[in-house]
Amino acid sequence: MDANHAARKPKVLRDRSSLLGGDRPSRQEAEAALRTLLRWAGDDPERNGLADTPARVVRAFEEHFAGYAQDPVEILQRTFDETEGYDEMIVLRGIRFESHCEHHMAPIVGRAWVAYVPSGRVVGISKLARVVQAYAKRLQIQEKMTAQIANTINDVLKPHGVGVIIKAEHHCMSTRGVHKHDADMVTSRMLGCFRDNPMTRQEFLAIAN
């Protein structure tokens, strides 16, 4: 039995942006708000085709914004230290994510490359993907999400360094406003040896390109 199957600690929410502890509106209030938006758009929320739409959209919101109930620090708590002194780069490549921009609530669809050089402690590789999802399933800007992922891994694992690269298409740009298609936005955050050691940085950039 490995450490992953050991008893889990109760979830502790540390992120102050989480709504779950506060005065969260009810599902009925959320659905009523959507009926208002449908009326404002010029349609009749009571007609057959739209009757169940507010409930569906609220369920979609639960999926899109599931990250507010997830604690990335908690996800990284369980680490392994029997690594035979492994101290080379660990990279999870091309983690697909869907997020939503906090300015237009339009989809941001992209991939993340997450790397670190451990200092004794490593995590199960799926945990890196879960940290990406926990931050993606919130209202975001790509720059902030990139920094949050890198900072959290750095703070919890205390590795020699962390590198995060995110490439994403922003639907608020491709389907409205300036209507620019096929434009990717690339952001990165390099900490520790990824910032200070050109060889480590180059190795990671080569993997991500």
Only one of the segments 84-92, 98-106, 174-182, 190-198 lies at the binding site for Zn ion (rule: CB under 5 A); that segment is: 98-106
Query: With CB under 5 A as the contact rule, which of the stretches 27-35, 96-104, 160-168, 185-193 interacts with Zn ion?
Result: 96-104
- Is 150 one of the binding residues for Zn ion (CB under 5 A)? no
Does 103 interact with Zn ion (rule: CB under 5 A)? yes
d(CA 102, CA 128): 23
What tokens appear for 204 in the block? 């990671």
Q: How far is the CB of 106 from Zn ion (least distance, A)?
A: 5
Does 130 interact with Zn ion (rule: CB under 5 A)? Answer: no
Is residue 141 part of the contact set for Zn ion (CB under 5 A)? no
Sheet holding 185-192, edge to edge: 139-140, 90-101, 107-117, 161-170, 185-192
Alpha helices in the chain (DSSP H): 27-41, 53-64, 72-75, 125-136, 142-157, 171-174, 193-196, 198-208
Give the residue, chosen from 101, 122, 136, 162, that forms a contact with Zn ion under the rule CB under 5 A. Answer: 101
Report the run of H or E that residue 94 belongs to, with start and end. strand 90-101
The yes-or-no answer on residue 170 being catalytic is yes
Q: Does 171 engage in binding with Zn ion (CB under 5 A)?
A: no
Which DSSP string corresponds to 21-64?
A: TS-PPPHHHHHHHHHHHHHHHT--TTSGGGTTHHHHHHHHHHHH
According to DSSP, the residues that pair with 191 across neighbouring strands are 162
Asked about 101 being catalytic, the answer comes back as yes
Q: Indicate if 102 belongs to the active site.
A: yes
* Contact status: 145 vs Zn ion (CB under 5 A): no
**Which listed residue (172, 185, 205, 207) binds Zn ion by CB under 5 A?**
172
User: In the complex, what is the shortest distance from the CB of residue 100 to Zn ion, in angstroms, rounded to a whole number?
Assistant: 9
176 binding Zn ion? (CB under 5 A): no
Residue 170's CB: how many other CB atoms inside 10 A? 23
C-alpha distances (whole Å) from 178 to each of 11, 55, 159 are 42, 31, 41
Stretch that binds Zn ion, among 5-13, 40-48, 59-67, 164-172 (CB under 5 A): 164-172
Query: How far apart are CB 147 and Zn ion at their closest, in Å?
Result: 18
Q: Point out the residues that are catalytic.
A: 101-104, 142, 170, 172
Give me the residues that bind Zn ion (CB under 5 A), please.
101, 103-104, 172
